[in-house]
Structure 1
Amino acid sequence: MTTTSRSPRLLLLSAVVLALTGVGLLCLPQGSPIPATPAPTATDQPTEALSTGKDPSGMAPSATPTGSPSASPSALPPHGDGPAGDRAVQQSLEAAWPADLPHADERTLLTAGRALLRADATGIGRAKWPTVFTSRDGGTAVAPAFATARFRIQAAIARQDGGPDKAVVHLVWAGQDRGGAFADLRITDLSFARIIKKGAVTWTPQPRT
């Protein structure tokens, strides 16, 4: 029968036509997608911001936040700045002379150096240092030259002085002498030697040269 004999050819022809149609559609040029705008990066900013210190909007950079250091730690405060400038003096000493002693030795030396300087300048605590403040004939050493109320140690550090058994305590201080003249940023160096006796370590002040 004619219908039955043509049906497979019609189905095959239809399949070929559909296949060709599909291939043709795949070969048609597609619309180009719209490229996404890339996010700006640090290198996209104008180079003027690096050379002039301004941001891309033309505004000057903001000021240093409150509390941030505005000067180098080595910058000393002006004379007469008072206790407010003592921290800067301490930072200056530490920056100029890095620590080189064990923490325990440094702490011991700082305590002794502060007490010895105070005793020398004001007379307070001299009994603790009989060999330092007693003259060769047994008399008392020179009378204190600075008023107790106007004496202040501004900064202090302890460092090695030519070896682990020798140290120097570097002190910066302020005081008013007996003539009424007040001055700060005075400098005193006190030398100490480490002595080990029966396992005990002591730091002994040395004569000033």
Structure 2
Amino acid sequence: MTAHPTRPPRLLLVVTVVLAVVGIVLLTLPDRTTPPGAAVPEPPSQTAAAGRGTASPAGPAGPAREVSGAGGAGPPRTASPPLPPQGEGPAGDAAVQRALEEAWPADLPAREGRQLLAAGRALLRADATGIGRARWPAVFPAGRSPAPAFGAGSFRIQAAIARRNGDYGRAVVHLVWAAADRGGTFTDGRVTDWHFTRTSAKGASRWTPQPRI
């Protein structure tokens, strides 16, 4: 008897052919995961990521450690200029003045600014040392004002500016000063704000200091 080769089952042949056809079709189909014409997104670079970092607000590092005078908001601070080291003495006063002027641009007429500065300086001296309080009876009522806390000999105004405080009818004089207290401790970089309102009388206007709160 002659032996005949074994034929594979017909079902297996059909399945093989179908799988081959399906594979060919899949290889020829375009990739549909990305829309035609769309660019493939790339991961953000380190430079771009760094550009989205949180920015730290720049606030002025003022020399203030003490605030006295009438209450209210001071001038809007717009920058943080460099300041001299504390304890440098009169040699650093010019730098403090420049820092104030750069941080708070002038916004008052020059004449009014000078008037306010003169009044603010006199008020601060009267408040700190007691000298000249009689000039300001509404601010320093007789018998009701606290005793001076600083010696006149050590008192020094380091810097001062006058600026608007909100609308045109209000202003503030911002002063940085130094003095020794009753215990003999000398400290510079003290800060005081004196607030003023514009008043009119007999057709003339003037700046009136606000009593302390």
TM-score w.r.t. structure 2 length? 0.61
Q: Equivalent residue for 2:46? A: none
* Per-residue deviation, 1:131: 1.1
Q: Does 1:144 pair with 2:148?
A: yes
CA distances 1:6-50 after superposition (whole Å, capped 9, x unpaired) = xxxxxxxxxxxxxxxxxxxxxxxxxxxxxxxxxxxxxxxxxxxxx
* AA aligned opposite 2:165: D
Alpha-carbon distance between aligned partners in 2 of 1:207 and 1:126, rounded to the nearest angstrom: 12
- The answer as to whether partners of 1:90 and 1:156 remain within 8 angstroms in 2 is yes
Q: Does 1:122 align with 2:129?
A: yes
What is the percent sequence identity of the aligned residues? Answer: 65
Radius of gyration: which is bigger?
1
Partners of 1:199 and 1:108 in 2: CA distance: 18
Distance 1:125 1:132 in 2: 11
Count, aligned residues: 134
Which one-letter code corresponds to 2:187 in the other structure? A
Equivalent position of 1:201 in the other structure? 205
- Name structure 1 gaps, 5 residues minimum: 1-72
More helix by share: 1
Query: What amino acid does structure 1 have at the position aligned with 2:197?
Result: A
Q: Name the residue aligned to 2:171.
A: 167
Question: Any stretches of 5+ residues in structure 2 without a counterpart?
Answer: 1-79
**Higher RCO (C-alpha under 8 Å, 6+ residues apart):** 2
Equivalent residue letter for 2:102? A
Q: 1:101 is paired with a residue of what secondary structure?
A: coil
Residue 40 (structure 2) aligns with: none
How far apart in 2 are the matches of 1:208 and 1:126? 13
Deviations 1:64-101 (A, max 9, x none): xxxxxxxxx92111111010100000000000000000
Shift of 1:173: 0.2
* Cα distance in 2 for residues equivalent to 1:162 and 1:207: 18
SS at match of 1:141: coil
Q: Does the Cα contact within 8 Å between 1:74 and 1:88 map onto a contact in 2?
A: no
Query: 2:160 — aligned with what?
Result: 156
Q: CA RMSD in A?
A: 1.2
CA distance in 1, matches of 2:178, 2:187: 6
Q: Could you say which residue in structure 2 is the equivalent of 1:189?
A: 193
Verify the 8 A CA contact 2:171 2:195 in the aligned structure 1.
yes
> 1:23-34 alignment to 2 at 5 Å?
none
Deviation digits for residues 120-145 of structure 1, max 9, x if unmatched?
000000010011111xxx52410100
Aligned partner (choices 81, 86, 89) of residue 79 of structure 1: 86
- 1:179 maps to 2:186: no
CA distance in 2, matches of 1:122, 1:173: 12
Give the letter for the 2:119 counterpart.
Answer: A
